[in-house]
Structure 1
């Protein structure tokens, strides 16, 4: 308790407060710009932190991390262009709310849910770091295989209209995820002789194409909106008490999901957001609004992806195993500062670690303040006419794709995925399912093949272990639950009709 209080005392010093405020602002801006990921923002700031005190440097990096994960929701909501991959799920309902003139409400929901997810994930940092880190150690190749299967069953849940089209979208994503070097044999697959594809499909370029360039093509196809026909943002940039009560259970559920996913190395905020979205839809009393503009959906994905920030720091700090790409970059920042992840961070360097934890809490508070006060400014983006919006999104998509690795090939990949995304929307398929399969495909394939190699091809080895059977059970439940819930709903409606007749 002494270290916790001293950590807050050090985090509340003038220099650390300034670092928190500025880093969150920078993070939000980076996250809101398509193509500039949280990992890129943290990487760009590491050289700037060289001359800072260790605790200030780490708070700065965490501020950019948290701000960027939230910032990705801004453009996802306003122009259906996720600033970061973690905001892909938010774009589904956030943009629908914007089209209804509720951009302010959607942004306020994202801000509040992000704060709840982030601030509650700090509890796991303080209380469960050693225990939860041990859980991640128990995940071997077989567990990661079944984790990916569980994630793929979520495709059925995120498919708002047709499960078949959702599964087809997932199959397309899995097919695209096989492009690149074979993970076991090191041989090129489906690269068509292009060296740029040897490391697989550039994920961020693909995401920008599916969600941003496809939107450019659809907007260009429609009649250009005149100034008088702009989307109006008449709603208040705040939620009512009833709406807060409505999203609170969803935020708490998504926070738990985000924490667990964050602890599992390699899973990341994108998977957490889709899992949170799926579970929110499963438990919601207003399922019909999902995909058409639901504040529950926005809250679910944002609470989950921001809860990952705290969860992913746990294996990074205690084991030196990055929870996702951003914490992999932060691990480099730790080492540069002369800090070795492991027990020493909680003994010899405990004063720095607990200052970082306190800074994490403060950063999330500033994220809430800056997000709510900046919402009015951010909402103005939705008032821009399409004749201005189309070239801006086009330019951001091209620049963002090129900026990833300064490669023209990434821009070509983005254009290809833009065309794919256009036809995916036209055929009412699910671009989110493609993204989810692109993420999970390599994880599942690597886990499956490693398990079979270690067990000499024994198929039965895929069904051993307690964690394995838990994940199998969750996968079956996730796959069949839409049918079960639909039948239960129909039965409830029938009972209601009978009671009315009597």
Structure 2
């Protein structure tokens, strides 16, 4: 009965005219930025964040969440039509989506990804509704020891389990933590790492960092691409979208498995939808009777990852709302947005703000239904938008970024910060350093320091106190395992490079 009461409370909040309006705005903007390569949910949420300052926090969160999961729907469109993912989470969709488009199945691929995204999202929403309250109730027993341990585990997981070199991920996390502790020390009131700059006295602006790392850097990267690299797409009709009976038969299994994989991985702090999409793809390739068809236009190759990344996005709200631990970089930005409104997610969030929590959950259902309406009948519109010349698009995006950064704190200094982080993000991308762990480190760094200092005060400086508490000890053991995994991966990479150098020195002979 209590669950039904919560559903009714959430539905009453989600169907108000204001909530419906901002949900519609969020999913529409999210789909649009997902379709356009090089923009992404991070830049869109960063741009929209200053606009939410004067909104009711519930409506602001509904809109920002709509941008997030809406971008996952739209991101597959560019992956299929142009072989250019709208965001990194849709990168694996290129492997089979673009070959399907080349084989004359672009309409089927677009339709299938929309349905798979809806199934994955719906499954994860059920998981959030059922398990988030349980996790929050268990988290009421968390102390600073457990919070420090789980945050440390999340940061290490984000860096070691993401794609690329674990060592580069760890370096990005350390840099983010270092940037996060700049500003005024909340305990002593002293300035730290401000270098005499008054603009850094309150710390580095989250909006400026996000827009620089994920907005400006991507624009700089995409400016150098010629029109030929973006491909030429023909007309996609509504009739051409419907799959055949055989394609429907091959659709349901991957959609279900991808939803489970995405929900399980998305609920873990610090991992996010990128890894879930790749794992779902690898799982389908492993269980398939014809693994050779993957990469040539297999419908399973787009169904599983799209269901997985959308499920992971929705499941990512479990650690964010119930523990205050973001699942990925976008969730870290969502966490920062809630803190700006004076709301601190955690175990008490559902009891202190039940209308907001359940209203957000019920808005997920509404938003996903709206996304079906936007992504199936209007695919032709999104295709035409992809033909906008990038040299026309990027100046407008830069103007909006500057306006958004300035309006956050009315500071010109923050615009320079965004430009600096745009350059940093571009260099990190060029050198294959992941930028998402940096943002996670920036958001969680001050909280990590706060709980560590509090733990040291409670234990009178005894580090062993972390191992005296079972949950804290488990989290730290898992963290140690992740570090060992990173070390093993680095050692294996060094041995592989050594063998390649030896092979090159011998002239290719074995």
Q: What is residue 134 of structure 1 aligned with on the other side?
A: 137
Q: CA deviation at 1:169?
A: 2.8
Paired with 1:104 and 1:468, the residues of 2 have a C-alpha distance of: 50
Distance 2:17 2:434 in 1: 42
CA–CA distance in structure 1, aligned partners of residues 6 and 169 of structure 2: 51
Q: 1: CA distance between counterparts of 2:6 and 2:161?
A: 45
Aligned to 1:324: 335
Structure 2 runs not aligned, ≥5 long: 34-40, 80-85, 287-293, 296-300, 325-333, 344-348, 493-510
Q: 1:279 Cα deviation (Å)?
A: 6.5
Shift of 1:70: 1.8
**Distance in 1 between the 2:154 and 2:362 partners?**
33
Q: Tell whether 2:345 aligns with 1:342.
A: no
- Secondary structure of the 2:403 match is helix
Instruction: Using the TM superposition, give the Cα deviation of residue 361 of structure 1 relative to its aligned residue in structure 2, in angstroms.
Output: 3.2
Q: Is the 8 A contact 2:277 2:308 kept in 1?
A: yes
1:6 CA drift (Å): 11
CA contact (8 A) 1:463 1:469 kept: yes
SS at match of 2:161: helix
Cα gap change, 1:205 to 1:11, in 2 (>3 Å): same
Match of 1:148 in 2: 151
Q: Distance in 1 between matches of 2:416 and 2:337?
A: 25
- What is the match of residue 460 of structure 1? 464
Distance 2:167 2:423 in 1: 22
The answer to whether the Cα contact below 8 Å between 1:169 and 1:434 also exists between their aligned partners in 2 is yes
- Give me the whole-angstrom Cα distance separating, in 1, the residues matched to 2:99 and 2:255: 19
Q: Please say if 1:474 is aligned against 2:478.
A: yes
Which of 112, 119, 122 is residue 122 of structure 2 equivalent to?
119
Residues 1:439 and 2:443 are matched in the alignment: yes
Q: How does 1:162-311 map to 2 (within 5 A)?
A: 162-220=165-223, 222=224, 225-226=226-227, 230-233=230-233, 241=248, 242=250, 245-246=253-254, 248-259=256-267, 272-273=272-273, 276=276, 299-309=307-317
Check 1:133–1:405 CA distance in 2 against 1; reply closer, same or farther (3 A cut). same
> For 1:324, what is the secondary structure of its paired residue?
helix
Task: Tell me which residue corresponds to 2:418.
Answer: 414
Deviations 1:134-183 (A, max 9, x none): 122122222222222212222122132x3333333333323322322224
- Give the conservation status (yes or no) of the 8 Å contact 2:45–2:64: no
Distance in 2 between the 1:183 and 1:238 partners?
A: 58
Q: CA deviation at 1:417?
A: 0.6
What residue number does 1:46 align with?
56
Note if contact 1:214-1:422 (Cα within 8 Å) is conserved in structure 2: yes
Q: Is the 8 A contact 1:70 1:114 kept in 2?
A: no
Which residue number corresponds to residue 89 of structure 2?
90
- Of residues 389, 394, 415, the one that matches 1:390 is 394
Contact 2:132/2:318 (CA < 8 Å) preserved in 1? no
Q: 1:324 to 1:166 in 2, by over 3 A?
A: closer
Contact 1:97 1:106 in 2 (8 A): no
Asked if the contact 2:182–2:192 (Cα under 8 Å) also holds between the matched residues in 1, the reply is yes
Residue 212 to residue 327, structure 1, CA distance change in 2 (3 Å): closer
Change in CA separation of 1:74 and 1:355 when aligned onto 2, cut-off 3 Å: closer
Report which stretch shifted further, 110-119 or 382-391.
110-119
Deviation (angstroms), 1:190: 1.0
| TM-score, normalised via structure 2 length | 0.67
Task: Note the residue ranges of structure 1 that are not aligned, 5 or more in a row.
Answer: 48-57, 81-86, 262-269, 317-322, 333-339, 488-502
Aligned positions, number: 435
Contact 1:23–1:64 (Cα < 8 Å) also in 2: yes
Q: Which digits, 9 at most, give the CA deviation of each residue in 1:311-352, with x for residues without a partner?
A: 756689xxxxxx9355567887xxxxxxx973996xxx9xx9
Q: Quote how far apart the aligned CAs of 1:26 are.
A: 0.9
| Structure 1 pair 88–143 and aligned structure 2 pair: CA distance change class (3 A) | farther
Residues 1:243 and 1:180: Cα distance change in structure 2 (over 3 Å): farther
Distance change (3 Å), C-alpha of 1:273 and 1:129: closer
Q: Which deviates more, 104-113 or 251-260?
A: 104-113
User: Residue 22 of structure 1 corresponds to which residue in structure 2?
Assistant: 21
Q: Deviations over 1:71-116 (max 9, x none)?
A: 3447867899xxxxxx975376579999989798998787556644
- TM-aligned CA distance change 1:23 to 1:448, over 3 Å: same
For residues 338-377 of structure 1, the C-alpha deviation after alignment (integer angstroms, 9 at most, x for no partner) is xx973996xxx9xx99888655534433334334444443
Q: Does 1:71 align with 2:70?
A: yes
Go from structure 1 to structure 2 and tell me whether the alpha carbon gap of 1:231 and 1:5 turns closer, same or farther (over 3 Å shift): farther
Q: CA deviation at 1:441?
A: 2.3
1:490 alignment counterpart: none
RMSD: 4.8
How far the C-alpha of 1:437 sits from its partner, in A, is: 2.5
Could you tell me how far 1:402 is from its partner in structure 2?
2.4
Residues in 1 aligned to 2:359 and 2:169: alpha-carbon distance in whole angstroms = 45
Whole-Å Cα distance in 1 between the matches of residues 109 and 160 of structure 2?
Answer: 25
Distance 1:110 1:357, change over 3 A: same
- SS of alignment partner, residue 139 of structure 1: coil
Q: 1:61, 1:480 → 2: CA distance?
A: 41
- More deviation, 297-306/180-189: 297-306
Q: CA deviation at 1:307?
A: 2.6
With the length of structure 1 as denominator, give the TM-score of the two structures. Answer: 0.68
